Every structure is written in C-alpha cells, then in structure tokens.
Chains A and B, each alone.
Chain A
Amino acid sequence: MRNKWIAAPYVGWMAVFVVAPLIVVLVYALTREAPDGSWYLTAENFAGMAGYAAVFARSFLLAGIATVVCILLGYPMAYFLSRERGRLRSMATMLIMLPMWMNFLLRTYSWVFLLERNGFFNTLLSSIGLPKLDIINTSGAVVLGMVYNFLPFMVLPIFSVITKIDNRVIEAAQDLGAGSFQVFRRVIFPLSLPGVLSGVTMVFIPSVSTFVISRLLGGGKSLLLGDLIEMQFLGAAYNPHLGSAISLVMMVIVLVCMGIMNRFGEGEGEAVLL
C-alpha cells in the first residue's frame, strides 16, 4: 500500500493544531504587554530565567530520580511478566493500564489519604507500635507520586519489546552455551533497550512538567517547573508571556536531552508504547 497523499489531511491538521499553537507560544514568549494593552517585542521574559535555575534543577533532579526508580521497578516487572505463561501474561497489558482508567487526580488524591500524618499508613504503623513517618509534603512524596502515576508508561514499552524478541534468538544463545544470566545480559537486555528509551521519555517528560502531583503531595513547598508554568497561566502569578518563555526553555532542554539519548540508542528514535 503506497499512498502518501492519504497523510495529507493529517499533515494539514498538524500544521494548524500542533505547529501553529507553538508559534503562538513563541510569540507570547518574545513579547510583553505594555500598560496601555499593546504588545511590544522583548527578551525580558528570558532575561530573568537564571533566577529560576533552582526550580529547573529541582525539577530535573526529582524527575530524574523518578525515572530511575521507574526503570528499577518497571524493567524487572516487564521482564518477569513476559516470562509468565497463560492468563497473567495475556492480561498484563490491561492490568498495567487499568489504574489509568481511574481518574489521575483521584489516584493522586488517594495517596494523600494514605500518606497523611494521621493517614492510613501511619495509623497502621502506630497500631503496631511503630513511630509515625512524615512522608507527606516532602520531595520523597512527590517522587513517589511520579513513580506511581507514570510507572505504567515505563512497563508497557519494555514489556512490548521483550515479548517481541524472537524466541529462536534466545534458543540459539542457549544452544551456544549461554547461561540464563548471559542470555539476559547479552541478548535480551540489548534487544529491549529501545523499550527502555521510550519508557524514559514517557516517564521523564510528564514528571518534569507535573504540577498536580507536587501540589497535592508536595504541599506546594518545593516548586517544580510545572508549578512555575501553571502559576503563570492559571493565575497565581498571572503572566502568560513569562509562562510561555519558561515553557519554551523547558521544551528545548527536554528535546535536547531526548535527542542525545536517542543518538545513544539508535537511528530510528521513535517511541514504541505497546
């Protein structure tokens, strides 16, 4: 089936609804509103960016930690699931996706309830005579929220890549005398890397730009990039021009990171979610 024109409507759609909005953001980032309501061209939105270096650093650090934890939990999970036979394996995708059908805000909220000072966990701990833990409103709680919400995005691509590995490749390795650890290290792991890479993208980006999680679980104390942007657009410190500028800088940093990572990976750097 060769027919490139069939993509034409979507290319048009992308031009209008993907590219054009970005141009609008660019215009906002490069302008400011004068007191009389007219707009003027300026770079002052970017000038103060250094002042937010701490926020940038904190966001990238927390999102980075969350991503690493997701790999540490998600990779073994995907690997073990792919080794299962029967019901569990065929249902694995759905089981991982199912939590996402409960509202994202509700799921995060329910962690608040679990981690609260007099919440479920602490009640449990004190009922067996252990001291209470202060988890809520710390950076740790924010990372936990990120891992919880975005773990499926790490497991799914890895699982899908591992299950696609040709069994004959593994058998060949075994026939050539590789032990099961060697099979994993020399065959399965390298072949599953594209899944890990796309998982990293799918976890890191929403983590670095979240504001709901840091709001609900971080108590608004450690501001993340998402919060900073949200403040400018949702009014706590209304300034869509500054918000657009911060968004652009964040986008560029993220794109550069992803570009470098995909270079390391392989040529065709596109995400495989399932």
Chain B
Amino acid sequence: MKKTLALILSLAMAASLLSGCVSSREENTFTSDTSGNGTGDTSGEVQQTSGGEVNVYNWGEYIDESVLEDFEEATGIKVNYQMYDSNETMYGKIAPGGTDYDVVIPSDYMIARMIEEDMLEPLNFDNIPNFADIDPELKNPEYDPENLYSVPYMWGLMGVIYNTTMVDEEDLGSWDLLWNEKYADDIVMIDNSRDAIGIALKRLGHSYNTTDTAQITEAVDTLIAQKPILQGYVMDEVFGKMEGGNAAIGTYYYGDYLTMLENNPDLGFYIPEEGTNIYVDAMCILKGAPNKENAEAFINYMCSTEAGLKNCEEIWYSTPLMSVREELDPEVSSDPYAYPDEAIMAQCESYAGLPQNILDLYDSEWTRLKSASVD
C-alpha cells in the first residue's frame, strides 16, 4: 500500500515539476535563437516587456544603495543585488557556470581575462547613450581595446595608508615601508594575489605586467620574507584596522582612504616613489545573461549624473563621468590623488591581462606564500 502511495506521490510531484517546462511550440520557437545554446540558461525567457529583473553582482559597499531603488522606480525593473569581496571571488563564483548574473563589475585585468575566456557579452551601446559622458581618456582602454564589453564604473589609485601618530615621517615615501621591521606586527598587507605580488614587483623595480617567471618568483620570495612582520593579510578588514588604530600601515585604494579619514583624522596617504597601480572597475554583461536589455538599462542608469553623483559621494572613488565631476565639490574634484595630474599619472601603471601560464603561476605562487609557515 505505502509503496504504491509513495510512487503515485512522487510521480505526481515529478509531473507538476515537468509541466512548468513544457509548453506549446509557437510561444517558444522564436526565443530559441536568442537564448544561449547549451550554457544552461535556457530557463530565462527573454524579457521583451519593460519591467522584469536584472541580476547585479558588485563589490561589497561599492554603491549608494538608494540608487538601486531609484532605478527600480524609474524603470520598473527589479534589481537582484549580490556582492563579492574580490575579483578572484567573483571569478570563482561565475567560472563553473550555473549562475545567471547579468551585470558584473570586475577590475581591468579581470575584464581582460574574462574577454580572453569568452565570458563576456558585447554591449549594445545604442541602449547606453550615457556612455557619451564617460571621460574620453578612459574609453578604449588597454583591457578592452575596442571598448566592446565594458563601461567604466569607478577608478582610482592604490597607495600606502599610514597612521601619522605611529609612523615616523622619515620612513615614508616608498613601498619599503611595508617591509620595515621597525613596524613589525603593525603592518597589514593586501589579501589578493594580483595586488600583493604587484606591490612586491614594483618594489623590486619590475613591471606589474611582467611575464618573466623569475621576477615573479623573486617577488613572492620577498613577500614570504615579509610575512613574519605582518599583522595579517586583509582586504576590507583594513577599514577596521586603520580606523581603530589597530595597525599602523596598510595599503588600499584612495577612495577608501577618504572614507577612513572621515573616521580617523590621524591617517595619511602617499603614493610610493617606485610607482603604483591605477585601476578601473567597469560594468560588463556576462555571456548568456538572461536579461541583457535590462542589464544595459541598468548600466545606462549607473552612468547618469544623478546616480553617479550619489555613488561618488558615498564611496569617494574617482568617477569616470565628466558631468559628475563638474557637480562635485571643487575640493574633491581638484584633489590631486583622486583626479591626478600628468606628473602623478606618469608614476602609475595599470594591470594588463596576463597569459594563462602566468595566471597559473600567480595561483600556485600565491598558494606557496599563504601556506608558508611563520612560526
């Protein structure tokens, strides 16, 4: 008795599940060309009507969240918003497949990698008229030479953040500060392979984008030598560390330094003499995104003066939108680190995409660094 009952029940459940997947032919055949083939995204019908959804995957605390509501009100499109904490985390979540994010906001070098690996969808710029407002300097960047895939969201410089009450002035000026044993246990190092190895490379006078394996290994060796004097490796934890005076020296992005300064006026920032990284985080649409047009509408909205200004005043990164820059408080828009002049720009180098064998080397070297013993 029970056996048959269980069988009938499970059959009924299966049938009800299936019924959602079967429909008449006419409604569907025309969408079959647009929905991706074999990428596992066939469940998403193409949204022809206004409304619908858009799935956004952005860095944590990298937006004024009221902008999302403004967008929903303006367009009737619902935003599903999720956050990640590093380019690499985002990549790890998307690479295996099975997710259907529409918009992601990776940094330059990661965009180059994702273009290379065919993970991004070319944008239809007819749907993104606000692209015209983007600073021409940031158009057609190295990571996306023909500007087919990306629209800049924010950009900025990396540098050294220090606590003026804990660090002597004569020690400043170079990346060497992060290796200075005088400040043992007071230094926090950035916790992602590209930035950390990049800093070590710069300190040794190499390029960020070197493909010389010996240089990279050498850089990682210096990082291993640095490990004993570190208090820890941090990403966003750096806020708590620097604001609370729990660490004296860290390295992070200038926009975030401005945020920290609001909470701890003792902090200082400088760009090391060896040079530093200039980065751009740009909005992209993933291959096979189920809501492409909504995604383009979202990107366009984020490039509006209103949204750009709100975001900029919330997170203090440098905006790529010229109209926003005009609207900003002159004190901010003339800040030499936020909108650097050519002299500073000459010190900066951006991350380029790296070939696969170097990416693999970064991964294995990063594992070597992190698993090295300190005690």
Contact = CB atoms under 8 A, between A and B. Distances in A.
B374 A222 contact: yes
Contacts, number: 107
Given A118-B246, A236-B86, A219 B234 contact: yes
A129 B87 CA distance: 45
B356 to A, nearest CB: 6
A260 interface: no
Contacts of B185: 134
Contacts of A227: 370
A136 B230 CA distance: 12
Interface string B88-105: 111111011000000000
Interface stretch (B254-262, B327-335, B360-368): B360-368
A119 interface: yes
Contact of B363 (A5, A117, A239): A239
B370 to A, nearest CB: 5
Interface in A9-65: 9, 35, 51-52, 54-55, 58
* Interface residues on chain A, size class: 35 or more
A119 B246 contact: yes
Contact of B233 (A6, A219, A233): A219
B88 A238 contact: yes
* Interface residues on chain B, size class: 35 or more
Interface string A84-107: 000000000000000000000000
B2 interface: yes
A240 B246 contact: no
Interface string A129-142: 00000101101000
Contacts of B232: 137, 218-221
Nearest to A117: B246
A169 interface: no
Given A51-B368, A117-B247, 10 more contacts: A8-B6, A118-B244, A136-B231, A219-B188, A220-B191, A220-B233, A236-B92, A237-B193, A237-B362, A237-B366
The 10 closest A-B pairs by CB, nearest first: A219-B232, A235-B92, A235-B88, A220-B233, A237-B363, A117-B246, A137-B232, A234-B92, A223-B370, A237-B366
7 contacts: A52-B371, A219-B230, A236-B366, A237-B193, A238-B91, A238-B92, A239-B363
